[in-house]
Amino acid sequence: MGNDLFDNLMKTYDRQLDYSGINGERIAKRLYELSEIGFTSDGGVRRPGFSNEEKSAKQLVKSWMDEAGLKVTEDGAGNVIGRLDGVNNDLPAVASGSHVDSVPNGGHFDGPVGVLAALEVASAWKEMNFIPKKPYEMIIFTDEEGSRFNSGLTGSTAMTGNEDYAKQTQMVDYNGDSFESVLQAYGSSLQGFKEAKRDMKELEIFIEVHIEQGKKLENDDLPVGIVSGIAGPAWLEVTFTGEAGHAGNTPMNGRRDPLIAAAEFIQKVEGFPEKVSDTAVATIGKVNVSPNGINVIPQLVTLNVDIRDIYKDTRDELLQLIIQEAEHIAGNREISINVKENTKIQPVPIKKELQNKLANSISKYGLEPAYIPSGAGHDAMNLGMHIPVAMLFVRSKDGISHNPKEWSTLNDIVTTIHVLKDCVEGVMEE
């Protein structure tokens, strides 16, 4: 399958959106050139974190950053930082960015749209001979998706110091290579990775652009939306242990079947999120049955529950409701249960003040502000534990993401970049 991304982007583009230094064709060309790196046979992209493909994509963007007048550096975690001096360089920088790595066969918009949006602000300023009052930074975070080590947001956790270094150094990738050896092959080291931590006081605010990965904007017929908060996931591993037996010789009465308990649990979990919040969600996406024989009553069943909300209190309330239900079901069925909390990440609500800034910028373009919670994690989530952050979503066709069919129109992308630029310039003036 050929790569006709550029032609498809330009086919419906409204060139009247080219003003204030922003150029849609430039953005389309850059999206196309990035899509060529790791292009897959079915039209997707494969750029794992710390891979040659991710590195090549960063090198390409670095060349564009140079063209835009940014001073480019790369830290020991692989994060690329482009800095543009302002009138007063003693002030903290206003920053924007995203990532260029992908899931194994992903689309061409998740990550690169945010990177190119941040870059286009600087490119537009250069064309307009505009010098911001405060310094500006665009950042490409490394290994956001986490497909290399099954643990994402690697670059932003290193930059913010949120990393558990002991845990990180024990990780092994899909090739069986250690984290240290992968870093060395990339051109860094464990020491360089640790030194990627920076003083977050150097940044005033971080504003990330990302595709929505959902259907709200499409349903509302809006090109751009405001993220109201970034959900923090809590992952539970729930194991029901019963008594294995022969499927034919064990009477139904008195069986201690953990799979029946698990089935009841799965059904109950679906109804809990609405009890605590209209932004909470819970998903059971992984189930392991042992011994998993067609004629054997299972001995044990392990389920993984993903629980999320943009508010910590309601997320934790939902977590407890689900644990209590699992224990209740196990007790009623006289089987044992073990619940293990594998992950618990702090949600990041976006401050109303910052949502209002984005709303003011959106309104300038005659658009209605729409507010959307982000169920997915983003690099802004890590930065939001230390500095103010905000996010803009770009409309996604059919809500598809992490898939070669992922698509956002160039009109929507450019409209969102205008909003980003306006908001950044507003913050510069404060």
Q: Provide CB contacts within 8 A for 144, sequence distance 6+.
A: 49, 98, 99, 101, 111, 152, 153, 154, 155, 156, 378, 379
- How is residue 275 written in tokens? 């009890």
- How is residue 40 written in tokens? 């897959």
Burial of 289 (0-12, 13-18, 19+ CB in 10 A): middle
Query: Strands 389-394, 203-211: parallel, antiparallel or unpaired by DSSP?
Result: parallel
Tokens 């480019």, located at residue: 72
Q: How far, CA to CA in Å, does 35 sit from each of 7, 47, 110, 217?
A: 13, 10, 11, 25
Which spans in 346-392 are helix H?
352-363, 379-383
Tell me the C-alpha distance between 279 and 403, whole Å.
24
Question: Three-class SS of residue 239?
Answer: strand
Are 60 and 37 in contact by the 8 Å Cβ rule? The answer is yes
The annotation status of 210 as a binding-site residue, yes or no, is: yes
The annotation status of 204 as a binding-site residue, yes or no, is: no
Which residues partner with 39 through β-bridges?
45
329-368 as b/e: b if 16+ CB within 10 A: bbeebebebeeeeeeebebbbbeeebbebbbebbeeeebe
The annotation status of 378 as a binding-site residue, yes or no, is: no
The residue length of the chain stands at: 430
The annotation status of 99 as a binding-site residue, yes or no, is: yes
The annotation status of 406 as a binding-site residue, yes or no, is: no
Q: Where is the binding site, in residues?
A: 99, 110, 145, 210, 402
Q: Where is the binding site for Zn(2+), in residues?
A: 99, 110, 145, 210, 402
